[in-house]
Structure 1
């Protein structure tokens, strides 16, 4: 077993990040600890402290506890800077729309997204994952939400799914630096759970404004969540994939095709044939517009 003292600081930091991403919250002690007995002792100690306070209570003065103390100032009741306060969903959606309306470029939208505090997903995420790639390519690839790898690296489509996407794009003559990659949601939900309807409503103005500013000619939509988000349907990705549809964003109707997310293909490699068919359909439409 490797001791922590044998690791360099960078190696130890990487190991702790790996444990955190894996959901490991406890480390083993050098010797076994009886947590049940420890908890029981703490409970008995709390009960004894409570009894002592109750016995001492009659001996105290009847003077009101707040007598002689000035009322807390409004500043004292204000949350400290940096503390995230829950915002009502309707107000958060309105704030998101206002922030997006003021953003006239992708850089301004990224800054607005990084400064936005109306979505609780941001509180538990390590990174705000914005778009990467070439906005002028006319091609936008949209996934659902950041994975643990994306959250760690701060870019969309990281890790093994990202590597598979790179190979998928290369197979039809594209490269991640020559298209625009992004996600519907910019923050990784805890435990990779699906975003709630309220969280989706809050994030919708940002992705729609991102599409407006990038002005793509074609959308490649990856994954079940993403297809349902844009197509407003409850069918599975297998029913929605492979067919061109128009996605209305602002005053534009953008041709879009849905396919399986690379993570789906890593989980079920037999479905790669379906994704390959979708990619060929996507490539054919792009080639027609380029000619």
Structure 2
């Protein structure tokens, strides 16, 4: 019975760490499919709508139109508008998009991911990469986030920490790990003789998902080229994944954090091999204090690895 309770508690902790703190609907809803259906309905209405010369006002023909009797046909539909992610036309995503409230939402597809790769690859400095992200409109999270959360700390640092996505406090301040979990991370850094001047901190996804929900696989895939390029430009000696989400995304593994943590691996940028390790996310440790001992062991291992790199 104790084992079952522990497993249930671990599952609830996982949901909370993923941003799932309430149940809104019993069944999943594909919002992108809804947007596509509304766009198709609107195109159909325009196809069968009589011209101004044929109908001067709301007559019997319009009242009897089958499309006018469809559920939701009286609601306004999104208008389509062109967009670009940069001044380079070749870098513009080819996916369809829908507009809401004057902002443009993009349907995530392979061409948008390819556009993200092209845009990230063209950045030769961190400043250019940040400017590229600020002008990038291929990820819909930008429509609901208040600020781009690019990075914090020292770009010249020898150790880089990567989390999954910013939360509410990070979104408000535009810096990663500044809320309660960030304060815990600062204390953990201090315990091994580091602070933010000796570390560089970023997230896989630089915009806060609405309600702190978990980023979708499509959102993560679109943002992945930017964090990959960020790692290449920082060139840290050591890369630390905070939580399983960032580790799974960047290492391409499906192993959970309990199997990944504390195990030194190599991360390849294509041009260099970087020593990397995963540990528990500070937000998870705030709810599972029993795991802090293991995280302390991980941070001691990071301290030792930094010392070894320094002597080499």
Residue aligning to 2:261: 241
**Alignment equivalent of 2:271, drawn from 244, 247, 251:** 251
Among 129, 139, 142, the alignment partner of 2:162 is 142
Taking structure 1 as reference, are residues 77 and 197 closer, same or farther at Cα in structure 2, changes over 3 Å only?
Answer: closer
Instruction: Kindly state the Cα deviation for residue 177 of structure 1 after the two structures are TM-superposed.
Output: 2.2
Shift of 1:65: 2.8
- Taking structure 1 as reference, are residues 82 and 274 closer, same or farther at Cα in structure 2, changes over 3 Å only? same
CA contact (8 A) 2:167 2:212 kept: yes
Distance 1:104 1:253 in 2: 19
Which TM-score applies when normalising by structure 1? Answer: 0.72
User: SS in structure 1 opposite 2:182?
Assistant: helix
Q: Residue 64 of structure 1 is aligned with which of 54, 63, 76? A: 54
Compared with structure 1, are the counterparts of its residues 153 and 276 closer, same or farther at alpha carbon in structure 2 (3 Å cutoff)? same
Question: Aligned partners of 1:180 and 1:118: how far apart in 2?
Answer: 25
- What count of residue pairs does the alignment treat as equivalent? 224
1:77 CA displacement: 7.2
**2 CA distance for matches of 1:265 and 1:189?**
21
Match of 2:294 among 259, 274, 285: 274
Q: For 1:128, what is the secondary structure of its paired residue?
A: coil
Deviation at 1:230, TM superposition (A): 2.1
The aligned residue for residue 147 of structure 2 is 127
Deviation at 1:170, TM superposition (A): 0.4
> What do residues 50-108 of structure 1 show as CA deviations (whole Å, max 9, x unaligned)?
xxxxxxxxxxxx962369xxxxxxxx974699631424421211211111121110000
Structure 1: gaps spanning 5 or more residues: 1-21, 24-61, 68-75
CA RMSD in angstroms, aligned pairs only: 2.3
When you count helix as a share of all residues, which structure comes out higher?
A: 1
Aligned position for 1:26: none
Counterpart selection for 1:212 from 229, 232, 237: 232
Q: TM-score, normalised by structure 2?
A: 0.67
**Of residues 243, 260, 263 in structure 2, which corresponds to 1:223?**
243
> Whole-Å Cα distance in 1 between the matches of residues 205 and 174 of structure 2?
13
> What residue number does 2:6 align with?
none
Question: Is this contact kept in 1: 2:157–2:199, CA < 8 A?
Answer: yes
- Give how far 1:264 is off: 0.7
Alpha-carbon contact 2:108-2:139 (below 8 Å) kept: no
Alpha-carbon deviations, 1:108-131, whole Å to 9, x = none?
Answer: 000000110001111111111001
Q: Whole-Å Cα distance in 2 between the matches of residues 175 and 117 of structure 1?
A: 33
> Which structure would you say has the larger Rg?
1
1:159 alignment counterpart: 179
Counterparts of 1:128 and 1:145, CA distance in 2: 11
Deviation at 1:280, TM superposition (A): 0.5
Q: Which residue of 187, 207, 229 corresponds with 1:187?
A: 207
